Amino acid sequence: MLAGVARVDITPPLGLPLRGWAARTARAKSAHEPLLAQAVVVDDGAGRQAAIVALDLPHVGRGLTTTVRQQVQATTGIPPESVLLNASHTHSGPPLDLGGGISWTSEDPEYARYAAILPELVAGAVYGAFHSRRPARVASGSGRAAGVSVNRVQHAQPVDDSVQVLRIDDVDGSPLAVLGSFACHGTCMAGHVPDWNADFAAPLRLAVQRELPGAACVFLQGCAGDIAPWDFWMGNPSPRPHTYANRDELGERVGVEIARVAAQLQTAADARVAATSLMLALRRRQLSWEQAELDLIEGSLRTQPDPEYPELWPPHLHTANSAQNYPLTYQRGAVGMYQNMRRRQDEPLHAEVQTIAFGDAAISANPFELFNGPGLAIRARSLFAGATFVLGYSNDYLGYLPRTEDFLKIVDVPLEEVLDQDRFRWAYGMTNTNVDLGEIDKLVDASAEGLRLTHAQTSALTAR
């Protein structure tokens, strides 16, 4: 087996508007750390290769994925279905196109030049990893980073606090790379600082690299649709503050656990590589509200005076209460989203489910902010003996996807009540899903099928 690792700085220029949070007008005045594109290329020595790319971005749009895959295939020969792009979901990164499913957003014109060069930077990271391949060994495992995250929708409910780990060594056993996944929103930092920053992924990587000198740590975001840092559940009257100290503590604790798991793994040289890509056509959400009702409320919201936003959030503002403090901003955004859902409700929502396997470990990736329960259900159906990474925020961005039992709690709630931020902010991720009731089962089944197919491929290759 061969493996290579490379990284490229993808930090946007200073002076661009910070769009990751509503209710502020700040532009980026500094970069707390570089935003990175990190690529790992694995090659089983028999012509089968795959590239995993971790990006310090809020989202990965389909346009970026398609362009990067085309460039990677042209320069390395790695086929598109074997190239995976995963966003860390930092909310302190550049606002790019959110993908084919989120029709009320568009690329910010001030980011046009950055968006134009970004595919080359990302593809360049893969090119660098491809040309740094060397003989390698791999092993995988899992652990738990308990006590640092919460179910932000229903805070008494459990969360997936597991870490999945893939260790890659040189042939002499020296660590080359550690891939680690954890599910948590990149919202340790909020609208209080005018910085580009990678949120908790940055201190997480530093912790792993400190504990395992020589290893490049690559963070992959899991299914964090309903998972927030610390006690940042919606409506918490006294959450931990958004500070770099709290961000760094979370990243440190998760990183130390990833490093602990990696340190115990015994790597092996024989790992077959396989990949599958399944395209789904999901039914878009069928809104229960009439068009006339949407139009009436939209008109009423438009007549109200615009709020005066500060440059940066004041200390009292928090992700747990921002919508309650600026309800008009969130109400206008929600109604605009619902209008676009109505216009596109007859179009299928195309979603890629990608699976990449390395011997007895696998990655299952989807383009949603998937709630953690379905992510656990996908992992439970994996046939792989090693770690199974289940990633959201991959290859496109199609918005939130809750469990059916969660969606049922709000699907028939009147529009005026849903827009009441004091009453229904807790249901964020359920009120704004693009996908219709019951369609999540197709995603879970397709993810399980992708895992089954790649497991069959790697098993057949190993048996030869």
Q: How many angstroms separate the CA atoms of 111 and 17, rounded?
A: 9
R_g of the chain computed on alpha carbons: 21
Residue 207 parent element (H or E): helix 201-211
Give 96's pLDDT tier (boundaries 50, 70, 90).
confident
HEC letters along 39-97: EEEEECCCCCEEEEEEECCCCCCHHHHHHHHHHHHHHHCCCHHHEEEEECCECCCCCCC
Among 393, 366, 173, residue whose Cα is nearest residue 268: 173
Q: What is the pLDDT of residues 191-238, one digit of tens each?
A: 999 999 999 999 999 999 999 999 999 999 999 999 999 999 999 999
> What is the average pLDDT across 342-365?
96
pLDDT single digits (tens) 31-72: 999 999 999 999 999 999 999 999 999 999 999 999 999 999
CA-to-CA distance for 159 and 225, rounded, in angstroms?
A: 11
420-451, pLDDT tens digit by residue?
999 999 999 999 999 999 999 999 999 999 99
- Predicted confidence at residue 107, as pLDDT, reads 63
Inside any domain, residue 32: yes
Q: How far apart are CA 274 and CA 271, in angstroms?
A: 10
| Closest listed residue to residue 382, CA positions, set 404, 353, 361, 403 | 361
pLDDT of 19: 82
Domain that holds residue 171: 2-279+348-402+439-463
| Structural domain count of the chain | 1
Instruction: Please give the C-alpha separations between residue 309 and each of 23, 180, 260, in angstroms, as whole numbers.
Output: 5, 38, 44
* Longest Cα–Cα distance in the chain: 70
β-pair type (348-358, 361-365)? antiparallel
Q: Is residue 301 part of a domain?
A: no
Q: Where are the beta strands (DSSP E) in 183-321?
A: 195-196, 216-221, 227-229, 273-283
**DSSP strand pairing (216-221 vs 400-401):** unpaired
Does some domain include residue 275? yes
| Residue 106 clears pLDDT 60, i.e. is over it | no
312, 194 in Cβ contact below 8 A?
yes
Separation of alpha carbons 12 and 317, rounded Å: 26
Q: Rounded to the nearest 10 degrees, what angle do helices 244-263 and 201-211 cross at?
A: 40
pLDDT at residue 101 above 60?
no
Residue 5, φ and ψ in degrees, nearest 5: -135, 140
Residue 105 pLDDT? 46
Flag whether 408 is in a domain. Answer: no
Phi-psi group of 204: left, alpha or beta (phi > 0 → left; psi -120 to 50 → alpha; rest → beta): alpha
Q: Is residue 189 part of a domain?
A: yes
Does any domain span residue 205? yes
pLDDT value for 102? 53
Q: Which residues have CB under 8 Å from 186's CB, separation 6+?
A: 58, 88, 89, 90, 91, 92, 198, 199, 200, 201, 221
Residue pair 135/1 in contact (Cβ under 8 Å)? The answer is yes
Looking at the domain assignment, is residue 386 inside a domain? yes
Residue 24 lies in a domain: yes
Q: How far apart are CA 209 and CA 128, in angstroms?
A: 20
Model pLDDT, residue 462 = 79
- Buried-exposed string 405-443: b where 16+ CB fall within 10 A, e elsewhere: ebbebbbebebeebbebeebbbbbbbbbbbbbeebbebb
* pLDDT score for 103: 43
